[in-house]
């Protein structure tokens, strides 16, 4: 007999409860850090918005567990592609909002006065990007073509370049372009694209970068452009310590001052400061520094362990997936998380430039946390459709 609670029972029977538990544990740690980082504001708006985002994310996780994404993507790939393009182009309308030099946000409060949450299209579009790329890789192999052939590489590379160009032109967000590139590299690698392509393209980019860095940029006005300066200060911390290097200098100081066990929760010197010496972007880009200052190296390691377990769970589900499409999707999700964690932590440790990338499940952001839970809901859907080992082995005969 079907009842109101039947879908919930079905979710607990088939859904990936371990992955959901890891996501909840990590986002709860994030809530603790967000409260500390925004305590100076005298209110709890950020915490409330994040809690609402987590609750909506849990609902999205449960609902998406019941969707067969391979079938959905095969039937609706044109819809997914059109949605991705139109959603990003909406940033060019009056709804688009620039923050930190990038036009990343759709200001929903311009439609609904007082609405506490904005949407970040290039964050959300990562999910259809992964699904569409996985579908292309699968179709190439089903047609008996090699993914390393020139037409195949042009096909998947052309789609990726198109999305990167769209984001760069509309948003100007180079950090998000890096994440999309990392997703592509991860999925292309696990699908079997030959190493020579990575060496050829990577070598070409490296050579072009060296030539531009040493011989072209220093002779132009771009050498002092704020985007180039973000890279220069990484190689020379004394170049502009009170300007483009200020944020990372404060972050490194905060992490170092926490030592092994931290200064104590709600007692971080820079996290709780109200003056100009306060840690910048402490609830978003530099929340890892908040963890380092108040919980020390032990807290940072705990945070990284939680995030690593989520990545490893995605990989595990991918390795036991019932189809190549599902495996590629899981690996794409893992690559997305791993690259964003690596770049955010590297930014906070002053070994990578500031790219405006937040820490998954930890940083403040309503649309970000909902998207992350939705992404993991897709992985849960794949786990729910994993064939038993005896049947999977037989299907491969």
Concatenate the DSSP letters of all residues of 107-160 into one string.
-GGGTSTT----B-HHHHTHHHHHHHHHHHHHHHHHTT--TTSHHHHHHHHHHH
Is residue 136 assigned to a domain?
yes
Is residue 392 assigned to a domain?
no
Range ranked top by mean pLDDT from 68-77, 88-97, 270-279: 68-77
- How large is the average pLDDT for residues 327-356? 96
Is residue 391 assigned to a domain?
no
- How large is the average pLDDT for residues 279-291? 94
Is residue 396 assigned to a domain?
no
Least confident range of 272-281, 341-350, 371-380: 272-281
Is residue 1 assigned to a domain?
no
The domain containing residue 142 runs over which residues?
A: 6-386
Question: How many Å apart are CA 249 and CA 276, to the nearest integer?
Answer: 13
pLDDT at site 396: 39
- Given a contact cutoff of 8 angstroms between Cβ atoms, the answer to whether 377 and 65 are in contact is yes
Is residue 369 assigned to a domain?
yes
The pTM score is: 0.94
Asked if residue 73 has pLDDT above 90, the reply is: yes
pLDDT at site 392: 45
CA geometry: angle at 186 spanning 182 and 190, to 5°? 170
Is residue 231 assigned to a domain?
yes
Is residue 170 assigned to a domain?
yes
Asked if residue 397 has pLDDT above 70, the reply is: no
Domains identified in the chain, total number: 1
Question: How many Å apart are CA 345 and CA 351, to the nearest integer?
Answer: 9
Compute CA distances 113 → 48, 108, 109, 119, whole Å: 18, 8, 5, 15
pLDDT band at 337 (very low <50, low <70, confident <90, very high): very high
């Amino acid at each position: 007999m079907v009842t109101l609670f039947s879908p919930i029972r079905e979710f607990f029977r088939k859904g990936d409860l371990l992955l959901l538990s890891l996501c909840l544990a990590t986002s709860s740690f994030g809530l603790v850090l967000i409260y500390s980082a925004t305590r100076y504001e005298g209110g709890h708006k950020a915490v409330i918005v994040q809690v609402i985002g987590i609750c909506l994310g849990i609902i999205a996780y449960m609902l998406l567990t019941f969707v067969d994404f391979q079938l959905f993507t095969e039937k609706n790939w044109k819809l997914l592609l059109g949605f991705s393009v139109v959603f990003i182009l909406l940033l060019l309308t009056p709804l688009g909002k620039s923050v930190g030099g990038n036009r990343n946000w759709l200001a929903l409060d311009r439609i609904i006065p007082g609405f506490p949450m904005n949407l970040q299209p290039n964050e959300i579009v990562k999910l259809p990007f992964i699904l569409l790329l996985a579908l292309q890789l699968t179709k190439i192999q089903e047609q008996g073509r090699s993914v390393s052939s020139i037409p195949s590489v042009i096909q998947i590379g052309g789609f990726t370049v198109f999305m990167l160009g769209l984001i760069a032109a509309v948003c100007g967000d180079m950090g998000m372009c890096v994440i999309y590139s990392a997703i592509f590299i991860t999925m292309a690698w696990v699908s079997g694209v030959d190493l020579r392509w990575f060496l050829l393209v990577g070598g070409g980019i490296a050579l072009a970068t060296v030539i531009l860095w040493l011989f072209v940029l220093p002779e132009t006005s771009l050498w002092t452009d704020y985007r180039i300066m973000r890279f220069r200060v990484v190689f020379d911390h004394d170049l502009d310590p009170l300007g483009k290097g200020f944020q990372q200098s404060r972050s490194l100081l905060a992490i170092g001052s926490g030592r092994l066990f931290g200064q104590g929760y709600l007692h971080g010197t820079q996290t709780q400061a109200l003056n100009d010496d306060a840690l910048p972007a402490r609830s978003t880009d530099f929340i890892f520094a908040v963890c380092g200052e108040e919980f020390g190296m032990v807290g940072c390691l705990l945070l990284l362990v939680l995030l690593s377990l989520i990545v490893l769970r995605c990989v595990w589900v991918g390795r036991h997936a019932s189809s190549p499409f599902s495996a590629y999707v899981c690996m794409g999700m893992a690559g997305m998380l791993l690259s964003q964690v690596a770049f955010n932590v590297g930014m906070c440790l002053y070994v990578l430039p500031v790219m405006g990338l937040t820490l998954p499940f930890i940083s403040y952001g309503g649309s970000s946390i909902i998207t992350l839970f939705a992404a993991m809901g897709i992985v849960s859907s794949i786990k729910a459709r994993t064939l038993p080992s005896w049947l999977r082995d037989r299907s491969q005969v």
